[in-house]
Amino acid sequence: MSEPTHSSLGLTPEQIAKFQEDGFLVLPDELDSSTVESLLKESRTLLEDFPLDSHPLTKFSTGETAPHVGDDYFLTSGDKIHFFFEEAAFSSSGELLKPKSQAINKIGHALHVLSAPFKNITLTARNRAIAASLAFKDPRVLQSMVICKQPEIGGPCPSHMDSTFLYTDPPSAVGFWYALEDATPNNGGLGFARGSHRRYGVGKRFVRLAEGGTGFQGKDEEGIEGEEFEDLTVKKGGLVLIHGQVLHRSTRNTSMDSRFIYTFHVIEGENKYDEKNWLQPGKEGFSRLNDVA
Ligand SMILES: O=C(O)CCC(=O)C(=O)O
Ligand SMILES: [Fe+2]
């Protein structure tokens, strides 16, 4: 038998139609259990090994939690592995309430470049073929992260569309979201307003501000707040593809179970990616899925 071609590794016509209809697509069992185990092990190692003393949110002993502490750490994270705390991990006087491995909400944003286990599941022939199925010509990978959503204090991710954050002209973002643990309505799962990508354009953008830091520019389209969300259950190893304009969110995790997921985003390299976007490419540019053998 001949080797499978890229296109035969891609989505079926039925899967493509469902993605276009709903704005998301669940692909169960995308990763086998030993791969998931290796990604969890890598995540735990990163959490254990990062230096707490030099982190911008903990190196100030006075509990300095002003909004702009950490702006630079965030804005320079596009080609690095940085660690972002759960808001509820600190007391009102700025003391860390949990051991650091249970206090981090998110690790990002270049795991797909700098961490071999994450790179190995991101820059793959399968993902190249999935992107081709979704009509990408020059798919580029950016903004990879592990979202830990820690037990008891896991912060919510309010309703948004990803093209607000990773805008191209025309919009093209697609999220690849992998459950590394079962993600359920009980531990802060993932919820969608089904079909909402067909109801709204990209109304606002999350940008670098001229005065420093980041903020939103523009307005949401009318009616966006009234959307109903369906909370999914995604078993570990499952992949969810997320259209850049579908509204999605995840809720607070007050359960005793963490909800580790890995996500990265793909944009069309042929579309204009401007300097307002919060995440700017390093010298190498964003990773090309078409370079995968
Ligand atoms: O899993 C979450 O909490 C949110 C993930 C998300 O918004 C994304 O991957 O685009
Ligand atoms: Fe998102």
Mean pLDDT score, 219-230:
90
The model's pTM? 0.94
Closest C-alpha among 227, 156, 160 to residue 187: 156
Compute the distance from residue 26 Cα to the ligand 1 centre, in Å: 14
- Peptide bond preceding 170: is omega within 30 degrees of 0, i.e. cis? yes
Tokens for 98?
């949990």
Compute the distance from residue 9 Cα to the ligand 1 centre, in Å: 25
* Residue nearest atom 2 in ligand 1 by C-alpha distance: 250
Domains identified in the chain and CATH numbers: 32-287 (2.60.120.620)
Q: Which residue has the higher pLDDT, 230 or 226?
A: 230
Mean pLDDT score, 197-202:
95
Which band of pLDDT confidence, cut at 50, 70 and 90, is reported for residue 22? very high
pLDDT for position 59? 45
Of the ligands numbered here, which is closest to the C-alpha atom of 106?
A: 1
Which band of pLDDT confidence, cut at 50, 70 and 90, is reported for residue 20? very high
Which band of pLDDT confidence, cut at 50, 70 and 90, is reported for residue 63? very low
pLDDT for position 37? 98
* Residue nearest atom 3 in ligand 1 by C-alpha distance: 250
* Cβ atoms of 31 and 237 closer than 8 Å: yes
Ligand 1, residue 145: give the atom nearest the CA. Answer: 9
**Nearest 5°: CA angle at 267, between 262 and 273?**
125
Residue list, ligand 1 pocket, CB within 6 Å: 147, 157, 162, 175, 177, 190, 242, 248, 250, 261, 263
Q: Is the pLDDT of residue 287 over 50?
A: yes
Which band of pLDDT confidence, cut at 50, 70 and 90, is reported for residue 56? confident
Which band of pLDDT confidence, cut at 50, 70 and 90, is reported for residue 64? very low
* Residue nearest atom 9 in ligand 1 by C-alpha distance: 263
Find all residues with CB under 8 Å of 116, minimum gap 6, and list them: none
Find all residues with CB under 8 Å of 99, minimum gap 6, and list them: none
Q: pLDDT tens digits for 105-164?
A: 999 999 999 999 999 999 999 999 999 999 999 999 999 999 999 999 999 999 999 999
Closest C-alpha among 34, 28, 13, 9 to residue 239: 28
Q: How far apart are CA 44 and CA 157, in angstroms?
A: 22
* Cβ atoms of 224 and 246 closer than 8 Å: no
Choose the residue to mutate in 192, 248, 251 for probing ligand 1, maximizing ligand atoms within 8 Å of C-beta.
248
ipTM over cut 0.95: yes
Ligand 1, residue 263: give the atom nearest the CA. Answer: 9
H or E stretch covering 84? strand 81-85
Q: Is the pLDDT of residue 167 over 60?
A: yes
pLDDT for position 286? 97
pLDDT for position 122? 98
pLDDT for position 61? 37
Closest C-alpha among 241, 249, 259, 149 to residue 190: 249
**Amino acid identity of 39?**
L
